[in-house]
Structure 1
Amino acid sequence: MCLKVWFTNLFNTFAVFHSVNQCIMSHKKKAMIPLFCDAEVCWFRGGLKTAGLLIITNYMHTPLVVGLYPYAATHPDDLGFKKGEKMVVLGEQGDWWKARSVATQKEGFIPSNYVAQVDTMETEDWFFKDITRKDAERQLLAPANKPGSYLIRESETSKGNYSLSIRDADSAGMDSVKHYKIRKLDNGGFYISPKISFPDISSMIKHYHSKHTDGLCRKLESPCVKPKAQRPWDKDAWEISKDSIKMVKKLGAGQFGEVWMAYYNNTTKVAVKTLKPGTMTVEAFLDEANVMKTLHHDRLVRLYAVITKTQPIYIITEFMANGSLLDFLKSEDGCNLQLPKLIDFSAQIAEGMAYIEKKNYIHRDLRAANVLVSESLLCKIADFGLARAIEDDEYSAREGTKFPIKWTAPEAINYGSFTIKSDMWSFGVLIYEIITYGKIPYPGMTKGEVMSSVQRGYRMPQPDNCPTELYDIMLSCWKHKPEDRPTFDYVQSVLDDFYTSTETQYQQQ
């Protein structure tokens, strides 16, 4: 009798495995992860079980995540949660995941960048995933951080390894960032200095938080302040209703419209650019906007949605707290920036333009007024491609009161030849704006004088506080022949390493 029961259970086991496998394979086609199958099988971390039978398997488990930030549901099919709340992921669909709360058993969609898998370093305040060494320095040198701020990041050069980055300051008060490789022991431990090792990185952080530096430049004080994750844009929300936008504060106005800080559905802070009627046709705008929305990079302002059914046209983008780079450079905070930060601004913009270059796209109106600055002093390029859609006789390839002559390459002015190389000319002028804290290029010269002088070979002289090496980059941007100008990829590499090329990237222990 016992043998019969044993064989019955064994048969049921194979039946369950077959049913589970069929369920998994069918869900794989939909790129969804199932919580329950048609079989009477219950999933849990590390295995599955049926009535009276436990089957341990690592074939698949349902991801369990934890909230990194609180999230308030904005739609009936959303799932709101608190920081630290655990959820089971039912399916992954781009930026939005279907999930079930462990505590409330409610189901709904959650923003994937608001959560992390439990029992991983991603849940730690000090861990920064997918961040480069250069961006780690930018984050640590942001105004919200102080000497002793730190972060752990994945190594760029050694996959599977980690680095510790610390903000330091010398006796003169000059801030810098020091980097330390975290090395692995054969037994699975970690160390920075051979003098002491740790079973895990959390233990290492706790040790260096104490009075012990053990070879580090200083004691660890507090994790680097993380910018709050931006809520992903609503699924399929491209052409939206004007009723969903609440205008809050007018930020500025230009020749083609106004810029406002606003809220979408009363929850998401956005920037809204309104275009004066007649600025461009809806068809021309949508042609450009449909391309612009496909461009995604950390150095480009994200285009979220549009409103084109009524006039004026609304362009909905991510909100940048410090406004345009031009205005910021002229502000009290901007005027106090040191030369390394000004060069870093140039490097960030070159990075964004290198992406546009790689995508075979053109900006056409690159200048400080069309670059925005975040709260943590990160630059993002805005209004890429819009110049082509503008219907204005004076915003064309000839002199006029509105056309940005002082930023435009000679071949674009004379022949309407806009290319990535004419963008490079504009970038050289943008560097001038940055290094002079927002001064107007070609000071004291009219647009007509600029056009004729540039044609004769005149180039702006080296600004007072501009290093010769930086001025050489500006002159290379202003080569008469477009093909003689450098690529953005090359210029980015030079600017990124402007101060670090002669320094040791990692501290020796």
Structure 2
Amino acid sequence: MFGATQNNELLFNYMKKRSQNKKTITRQSYKYRWFVLTHESLSYYDGNIEKRGNRKGEIFLNSIRGVEEVENLSLDLNNNVFQVVYLESNDCYTLYIVAETKRQRETWIQALRLACKDKHSSFFQKYHPGVWTKSLDKYTCCDQIDRKAPGCELSFIERHDDLPSIGKHSSSSHLGYTPSLTSAENFEKTYIAIYNFKPMAEGDLQLFKGERYEVLDNSLEHWWVAKSKNGKTGYIPSTYVRKLRDLEIYDWYYKDITRQKCEEYLRRDGRDGCFMVRDSTTPRIFYTVSLYANGKPRHYHVKQNDKKFYLSERCYFSTVPELVNYHKHNAAGLETRLHFPPRHGQRTAPTTAGFGHDHWEIDPSELVRGKELGTGCFGTVYEAWWKDNIVAIKLMKTGSMSEHGFIEEAKTMTQLSHPNLVQLYGVVTKQQPLIIITEFMMHGSLWQFLKSKVPRILNETERLIMFCVDVCKGMEYLESRKCIHRDLAARNCLVGQNYVVKVGDFGLARHVIDDEYSSSYGAKFPIKWAAPEVLKYTRFSSKSDVWAFGVLIWEIFSGGQLPFANITNADVVEIICNKDERLKKPIDCPQSVFTQMMNCWARKAEDRPSFKILLSCLHAILEST
């Protein structure tokens, strides 16, 4: 019920508001307030429905930049919600108000717009019909994780709604306001955090998903210096932030995902309208919209014409987000409208290069050892905790490693970081035994995984090829860094969340002293994975890693069998170097995959493909499977 106005008051009513979360750590809550509209401001007071209490907040009309409805049920399943977007202290906020009835909402929206018109307020050209919610860390309407993101719908001044023209915001169409970023140079320095990051070393800066940060120094690859909106500076992991224009600030964009993995996520979700946008592997097509509808995944190429994006119905858009937003409201040639990203397979925060920007020597007292995970040629591996982080620790066998050489190299190795490499976080060198701290991989070694899943996994050809693709990606990265693994094998690859395979133990082999790794020539390497030039001359290179990768593919498609089983190391050298024979094709291995194995096993190193070429070939096989 509306109260009778008095003095300067135009309208007042008892309604519910959502907390505005001006501080990052505040929780989302609702409170009833008396809202009062005057010729100067919108104020709200505590009290109860019988009596108005003290004023708790005030928004001056000349600071208001938008008054719009909110989609029903998007604000914690509430109906009749409207929003007031306004500027305060050089920042932009949104006040969400829950009216009692649809008529009450319409009355308040009209009254606010008219009052703002009288004050010559400048309104934004776009707004968000959904809401930004802390539980999802994104807008419900367009999946933007930037709280200051541009609106995705035209505001009432652009739609020519009921009121005469109200002044537009002259400097930006953004539903956000950053007056400190006045130049193109500063705009280019502005990034959005796409993951939360908790500082792990002195000098690190905490990141909150969806918040903006100014990058001050990006000269280092993995750790940048950034400044928060509160003026705090420190190091941040570069993989945790993206530029304002980057598609990775949207939850529906999956940059580097295969068609097969995409279909797996869509099927697991199983809801019509579940979708994602991914990079396309089709030549001259940059993006693909993958959509689940009527019981199966469907794929639509995003085409380009004169720098405009479109799907089959040829409605043109300047950006991919605009295209996605349009098809959220109009199927227009698709099986159904786009609704939401899949619930499974959500992007997880990548590992950081080390535990901090300059923190690689770990205090052993900070490690809490858990259960044993396995024993290998390098040592015994345990599950462990470092502060709040679950990790794997490897206790090296005493006398098994040339420790001085490895310690010199360890700091450099912590800076090797890729989604398909097991991250080396740090080492313990000030006591015996030497301890290596790495990323924890929940499913253990690829070799163990293959053995445990036989025979079922042998029937999943696509998944087995994806394992090969994952390893190839990690090796391509090492190849680009001029880093030689020397001991690539299924036992040294690990399987993590969502069955992603990562290459581990890179850089360790040349520091290991172990009989299993010694040939009659005194070299240290696993004979059955070794290339001819390694067996003959101990000559390692990325091409010898390519040979070992071929053997690893054979392991994958043979279900983790030992190559050259029941054959001595000396006989293997004879078979490979003198008889020029190779491993036989596993029974269920596609011929196209075996062809790539044989390419990896070319006698001359220069005749073997690079990992980059192998990756391209494996992708092509996946697409045709």
| TM-score (norm. length: structure 1) | 0.71
1-structure distance, mates of 2:413, 2:215: 32
2-structure distance, mates of 1:254, 1:98: 41
2-structure distance, mates of 1:404, 1:99: 48
User: 2:251: which partner in 1?
Assistant: 125
Closer, same or farther: CA 249–483 of 1 in aligned 2, 3 Å:
same
TM-superposed CA distance for 1:164, in Å, is 3.6
Q: Is the 8 A contact 2:550 2:596 kept in 1?
A: yes
2-structure distance, mates of 1:347, 1:306: 29
Asked whether 1:357 is paired with 2:473, we answer no
Alignment of 1:466-485 (within 5 A): 466-485=589-608
Larger Rg: 1 or 2?
2
Query: Residue 491 of structure 1 is aligned with which of 608, 611, 614?
Result: 614
Query: Residue 165 of structure 1 is aligned with which of 286, 289, 297?
Result: 289
2-structure distance, mates of 1:287, 1:356: 19
**Larger mean Cα displacement after TM superposition, 391-400 or 346-355:** 391-400
**Larger mean Cα displacement after TM superposition, 478-487 or 138-147:** 138-147
TM-superposed CA distance for 1:377, in Å, is 2.8
Q: Residues 358-400 of structure 1: CA distance to partner in whole angstroms, max 9, x if unpaired?
A: 4433221111111122313332221122111112344223399
Closer, same or farther: CA 270–217 of 1 in aligned 2, 3 Å:
farther
2-structure distance, mates of 1:367, 1:418: 15
Q: Is the 8 A contact 2:189 2:216 kept in 1?
A: no
TM-superposed CA distance for 1:157, in Å, is 9.5
Asked whether 1:150 is paired with 2:275, we answer yes
2-structure distance, mates of 1:120, 1:477: 37
2-structure distance, mates of 1:370, 1:358: 20
2-structure distance, mates of 1:263, 1:384: 22
Q: Is the 8 A contact 1:405 1:413 kept in 2?
A: yes
1-structure distance, mates of 2:441, 2:421: 11
Aligned amino acid, residue 230 of structure 1:
P
1-structure distance, mates of 2:188, 2:279: 25
SS in 2 for 1:331: helix
Q: Is the 8 A contact 2:310 2:316 kept in 1?
A: yes
Q: Residues 423-460 of structure 1: CA distance to partner in whole angstroms, max 9, x if unpaired?
A: 22222211111111212222443444434333323322
User: 2:168: which partner in 1?
Assistant: none
Query: Residue 215 of structure 1 is aligned with which of 333, 345, 362?
Result: 333
TM-superposed CA distance for 1:339, in Å, is 1.0
Alignment of 1:450-461 (within 5 A): 450-454=572-576, 455-461=578-584
2-structure distance, mates of 1:230, 1:146: 23
Asked whether 1:412 is paired with 2:534, we answer yes
TM-superposed CA distance for 1:259, in Å, is 1.7
Asked whether 1:311 is paired with 2:432, we answer yes
Asked whether 1:282 is paired with 2:408, we answer no
Question: CA RMSD for the aligned pairs?
Answer: 4.0
2-structure distance, mates of 1:108, 1:357: 31
Alignment of 1:198-209 (within 5 A): 201-202=320-321, 204-206=323-325, 208-209=327-328
Query: Residue 466 of structure 2 is aligned with which of 332, 344, 356?
Result: 344
2-structure distance, mates of 1:141, 1:436: 25
Q: Is the 8 A contact 1:99 1:110 kept in 2?
A: no
Alignment of 1:28-427 (within 5 A): 45-46=178-179, 60=186, 68-74=194-200, 80=206, 83-84=209-210, 86=211, 89=214, 91-92=216-217, 94=220, 95-101=223-229, 111=237, 113-115=239-241, 122-128=248-254, 131-132=255-256, 135-137=257-259, 140-141=262-263, 145-146=268-269, 149-153=274-278, 163-166=287-290, 178-181=299-302, 183=304, 191-194=310-313, 196=315, 201-202=320-321, 204-206=323-325, 208-209=327-328, 213-216=331-334, 219-224=337-342, 225-230=345-350, 232=352, 233-264=355-386, 266-332=387-453, 335-336=456-457, 338-398=460-520, 404-427=526-549
2-structure distance, mates of 1:358, 1:65: 27
Closer, same or farther: CA 354–411 of 1 in aligned 2, 3 Å:
same
SS in 2 for 1:316: strand
2-structure distance, mates of 1:424, 1:162: 29
Closer, same or farther: CA 152–254 of 1 in aligned 2, 3 Å:
same
Closer, same or farther: CA 142–293 of 1 in aligned 2, 3 Å:
farther
2-structure distance, mates of 1:451, 1:121: 51
Q: Is the 8 A contact 2:215 2:224 kept in 1?
A: no
SS in 2 for 1:469: helix
TM-superposed CA distance for 1:166, in Å, is 0.9
User: 1:24: which partner in 2?
Assistant: none
2-structure distance, mates of 1:439, 1:220: 45
Q: How many residues align?
A: 436
1-structure distance, mates of 2:449, 2:293: 25
Closer, same or farther: CA 146–153 of 1 in aligned 2, 3 Å:
same
User: 1:3: which partner in 2?
Assistant: none
2-structure distance, mates of 1:417, 1:82: 48
Query: Residue 437 of structure 1 is aligned with which of 559, 564, 580?
Result: 559
TM-superposed CA distance for 1:236, in Å, is 0.7
Q: Is the 8 A contact 2:469 2:618 kept in 1?
A: yes
SS in 1 for 2:621: coil
Closer, same or farther: CA 88–364 of 1 in aligned 2, 3 Å:
closer
Structure 2 unmatched ranges of 5 or more = 1-176
2-structure distance, mates of 1:200, 1:242: 50
SS in 2 for 1:305: strand
Relative contact order: is structure 1 or structure 2 higher (C-alpha 8 Å, sep ≥ 6)?
1
2-structure distance, mates of 1:157, 1:334: 33
Q: Is the 8 A contact 2:468 2:553 kept in 1?
A: yes
2-structure distance, mates of 1:108, 1:151: 34
2-structure distance, mates of 1:420, 1:476: 14
Closer, same or farther: CA 483–213 of 1 in aligned 2, 3 Å:
same
**Larger mean Cα displacement after TM superposition, 200-209 or 456-465:** 200-209
Closer, same or farther: CA 271–413 of 1 in aligned 2, 3 Å:
same
Closer, same or farther: CA 118–489 of 1 in aligned 2, 3 Å:
closer
Structure 1 unmatched ranges of 5 or more = 1-43, 49-55, 504-509
2-structure distance, mates of 1:324, 1:162: 35
TM-superposed CA distance for 1:122, in Å, is 4.3
Aligned amino acid, residue 275 of structure 2:
Y
Closer, same or farther: CA 66–298 of 1 in aligned 2, 3 Å:
closer
Q: Is the 8 A contact 1:137 1:177 kept in 2?
A: no
Q: Is the 8 A contact 1:152 1:162 kept in 2?
A: no
Closer, same or farther: CA 405–78 of 1 in aligned 2, 3 Å:
closer
TM-superposed CA distance for 1:498, in Å, is 1.4
Aligned amino acid, residue 497 of structure 1:
A
2-structure distance, mates of 1:72, 1:468: 48
Sequence identity (%)? 34
TM-superposed CA distance for 1:158, in Å, is 10
